Amino acid sequence: MKKHYLLWLIFATAFLSCKKNNSTNIAPPSFLLSFTVNGNNNGTNVYTHLTVNPVIRFSFTAPVQQSGISANFSLLDNSNAAVAFAITVQNNDSVVIITPSNPLKGFSKYSLSVSSSLLSTAKGSLINPVTVNLATGIDSTDKFLQMADTALLTLVQQQTFKYFWDFGHPVCGLARERDNGDNEVVTTGGSGFGIMAMIVAVSRGFIARADAVARLNTMVNFLATKCERWHGAFSHWLNGSTGATVPFGNNNGADIVETSYLMEGLLTARQYFNAAGADETALRDSINSIWNNVEWSWFTQNGTTSNLYWQYNPSYSAATDIWSIPVTGWNEALITYVLSASSTTHPITKSIYDSGWARNGAIKNGNAYYNIVLPLGEPYGGPLFFAHYSFLGINPNNLSDDYCSNYFTQNVAHAKINYSYCVANPLKNYGYSNLCWGLTASDVFNGYNASSPTNDLGTIAPTAAVSSLPYAPVESMSAIKFFYYKLGDKIWGNYGFADAFSLGIPWFASSHLAIDEGPMICMIENYRTGLLWNLFMSCSEIKNGMKKLGFSSPNLN
């Protein structure tokens, strides 16, 4: 502002000097002294994250002609279409205030220009025209009609379920990896989550029981007869038409963790579809065959190591490359050790659990973050899917072992630390709040990222908060309502919430991923009825296996 005023003084001095030597009466120029957007001037012509009703105030060094204001101010949207605005003139016509006639669209770009043709009342011309670039942020109006919270939860479950039912692969019925990629690629782990989602869908009346059984029989027959397996374990990705392995990064063979998510779903389905009819009997028999053929203990490098290995790559030439990534905790793979210990055909021992998963106690944390003590895992808890994937089936309530006195306490702490981090927002990411939170693995603006408080790229994934409903019901319900009512025009679609978004860019994913869709349906149901927890924990093999590992819970009796 000081620079502008100095320039004006210099210009005015020169003008007066000329006037002394010139008998012609020339009108002095008008000079734009300053402008503010919502009361602020950031020193640039770019203003972002604005409300949808911004107020732009222009101050001039001389009164301007009111009759020329509307013709010399223009407000355009990103497609250069004119946007109506209201004009208020103050301070003896030297201040012009522009406000949009109607609220602007959220997360949209606009330009407000002042033309050099604007004249002062003395007919002096404007010597410094300007264009102010405006970008709006959150539009806090409701995008959908309000409904009861229970109805909203049902809607989220039902809409999200369409991903697995309507978008399931037409040949094998398994869950496609994502809806913005290769539609031939199906996911074993995501299919396990989808199987559990089908149980919820039957229970809630979204689909008929007979239709679910028919789809599940198609899926298990495909898994049993078409898909390549290594010592009973499946690959991470499959071709949905042929069953051929689709490489996942460098992994071209078995993935024991993804296989465990599939088995988590299959065993839960076995418990639910317990009728005596031929179709459900055949389904249970097929599930038992697949389950009993997994050689869990072989994934300790055939008994030569003290922990499970994540991947087996049979085509690699170097022996050191055949096995990759030891499965050690704390992360998303507790279910892998539970199933490995629960196998009646190829079980692991408790010593493998202690040394491999628990790392002889190194799994413990015990530090406080935001005054919340975290019993297990990395600082600040890591991405939130650690608290979801294994616990679609494993009931953490009052579950304890040698390393944690209550796994529900662990998951509550993890969820609330993640929430508290987003509220504190140390990186000042636009939009983070008590209503908009949740860091986990998801798509990001330029790829894929396992977001967490220690790896924050400014991206919120709805699955993080939605799937944490059992652990932080108040905080999660607030997020669900914010995602639906406030951001619904940007992130709500045919398959529920989009995978992720970054309000600061702004960017909204066009994708949905099976491994993010499934936990939302399942964890909402576990919060509401405990259905999946009750089914999975009712498996006799699971009861025996978890007891063998030292777990204690009323659900294991």
Pick from 118-127, 201-210, 289-298, 399-408: least confident: 118-127
CA nearest to 194, candidates 138, 261, 254: 261
Residue 21, pLDDT above cutoff 60 = no
pLDDT of residue 319: 59
Q: What is the DSSP letter of 556?
A: G
22 located within any domain: no
For residue 258, the domain's CATH number is 1.50.10.140
16 located within any domain: no
pLDDT of residue 314: 86
Pick from 85, 105, 136: which residue ends a domain? Answer: 136
pLDDT of residue 9: 36
DSSP 355-387: IIISGGGTTB---EETTEE--BSSGGG--GGGG
Q: What is the pLDDT of residues 497-555, one digit of tens each?
A: 999 999 999 999 999 999 999 999 999 999 999 999 999 999 999 999 999 999 999 99
**37 and 170 within one domain:** no
pLDDT of residue 462: 98
Give the model's confidence band at 25: pLDDT under 50 very low, under 70 low, under 90 confident, else very high: low
Instruction: Quote the tokens at residue 422.
Output: 């987003």
Report the first-to-last Cα separation within the chain, whole angstroms: 76
144 located within any domain: no
**82 and 211 within one domain:** no
**250 and 205 within one domain:** yes
**204 and 125 within one domain:** no
Say how far apart CA 69 and CA 93 lie, in whole Å. Answer: 11
Region of 161 please: left (phi>0), alpha (psi -120 to 50) or beta: alpha
Domain housing 418: 149-556
288 located within any domain: yes
**119 and 153 within one domain:** no
143 located within any domain: no
166 located within any domain: yes
**22 vs 358, higher pLDDT:** 358
Q: How many domains does the chain have?
A: 2
For residue 101, the domain's CATH number is 2.60.40.1220
CA nearest to 497, candidates 448, 436, 538: 436
**77 and 201 within one domain:** no
Pick from 136, 168, 194: which residue ends a domain? Answer: 136
Residue 7, pLDDT above cutoff 80 = no
Say how far apart CA 521 and CA 101 lie, in whole Å. Answer: 42
**117 and 184 within one domain:** no
User: What's the rounded mean pLDDT across residues 408-433?
Assistant: 98
Say how far apart CA 511 and CA 513 lie, in whole Å. Answer: 7
**297 and 411 within one domain:** yes
Give the model's confidence band at 28: pLDDT under 50 very low, under 70 low, under 90 confident, else very high: confident
26 located within any domain: no
DSSP 254-295: EEHHHHHHHHHHHHHHHHH---SSHHHHHHHHHHHHHHHT--
253 located within any domain: yes
**209 and 128 within one domain:** no
Instruction: Quote the tokens at residue 278.
Output: 């031929």
**403 and 306 within one domain:** yes
Q: Characterize the bridge pairing of strands 46-50 and 73-77.
A: unpaired
**331 and 219 within one domain:** yes
**456 and 314 within one domain:** yes
Tell me the whole-structure pTM to 2 decimals.
Answer: 0.93
Share of the chain above pLDDT 90, in %: 90
Pick from 136, 171, 206: which residue ends a domain? Answer: 136
